[in-house]
Structure 1
Amino acid sequence: MSNENQLSRAQSRSAARLAAVQALYQKDMEDIGISRLLIEFHEHRLGAEIEDNQYAKADRHFFDDIVMGTDKRRAEIDALIEDNLGEKWSIKRLDKTMLQILRAGCFELLARADVSTATIINEYVDVAHAFFDEAEAKFTNGLLDAAAKKVRV
């Protein structure tokens, strides 16, 4: 694979991760069915232009895998997140967007052995930066790193 193709693949996966977090947030807020949610994102969000903003082309297969896998393994993922929160924290206290970032990141740690731990953590820290300040990005880094130490050898 050429450097240009690798860069393009990395960018489309980054876009897929960001879109997956947005889709998971929407599913949590609206309790929309997965099939309908995926269709909506495929037809109206991934790579679309909305209000003069051009959304990056996202790897649809990768996006679908993250959204469907995170939804399917939600109880397992939430337990992993809960296990890595501080004593005074519970999953219910987390910001809804932060929760989706952590869920998607934990899903990849659990299910995507083809993606390095460092890549997963860095990518979701970048997603956190899109929504939050440095403190929350560091929180994302710390929690995903702790989770990785439990689920990856």
Structure 2
Amino acid sequence: MSDSKSQGTQPGDGGSRRRSAARLAAVQALYEIDMSGAGLNGVIDEFLHKRWTGADLTDGEGVSLPEPDGNYFGLLLRGAHGRQADLDAMIDGALSGGYSVHRLEAVLRATLRVGTYELLDCPKVPARVVITEYVDLTGDFFLAKEPGLVNGVLDRLARTLRADEMAREAG
């Protein structure tokens, strides 16, 4: 597997927009797997070769989305899908008010799983970038309190999973 963590990150090259699109696609694909029971490899193939290819896709504000970074999409989706039980336990520990990940709406659950995976296994991406990306993504799907919930959960997890990074940032 290529090192997608270091690809497409130069300012002005669209790499960050392609990564944002990869995050969105990973959340959508994980949601599809969760809801339909579709197979991982089939969903990856469908997203990369059919759904996102040549499509005129826009975000919640009508801004045209680039084609996702396919390597990063695959990394996020495979990681979030493959470590789902571990991720769910972490998310459960970060939720307050007696909530569990399984009581959350399916898109919100997929968002938290992919975001948690990225915090856990993609240390080259700053925690604040991860949190901001998934809060923004949640805002494209929900208008109420859900972006705040994602912010709170991912922030709590970042303080545990990336304690040194978060301490340096705070101090």
Distance across 1 between alignment mates of 2:100 and 2:91: 9
Structure 2: tracts of 5 or more residues without a match: 1-8, 59-63, 164-171
Distance across 1 between alignment mates of 2:159 and 2:70: 29
Q: Alpha carbons of 1:3 and 1:55: their partners in 2 closer, same or farther (altered >3 Å)?
A: closer
Contact 2:17 2:65 in 1 (8 A): no
The aligned amino acid for 1:135 is K
Distance across 2 between alignment mates of 1:3 and 1:117: 19
Distance across 2 between alignment mates of 1:11 and 1:2: 11
Deviations 1:28-69 (A, max 9, x none): 01111111111111111224326x866521100000000000
Q: Higher helix fraction: Structure 1 or Structure 2? A: 1
Deviations 1:87-145 (A, max 9, x none): 42122210100000000000000000110000000000011011001411111100000
Q: TM-score, normalised by structure 1?
A: 0.91
Distance across 2 between alignment mates of 1:55 and 1:11: 7
Displacement of 1:86 after TM fit? 1.1
Q: TM-score, normalised by structure 2?
A: 0.82
Q: Which stretches of structure 1, 4 residues or more, deviate above 6 A after TM superposition?
A: none
Secondary structure of the residue that 2:66 maps to in structure 1? coil
Match for residue 123 of structure 1 among 123, 127, 133? 133
What RMSD over aligned residues (CA atoms) do the two structures have, in Å? Answer: 1.7
Match for residue 45 of structure 1 among 22, 29, 51? 51
Structure 1: tracts of 5 or more residues without a match: none
Distance across 1 between alignment mates of 2:93 and 2:39: 28
Displacement of 1:2 after TM fit? 5.4
Aligned length: 150
Q: Which residue of 2 aligns with 1:23?
A: 29
Distance across 2 between alignment mates of 1:119 and 1:104: 14
Distance across 2 between alignment mates of 1:17 and 1:84: 21
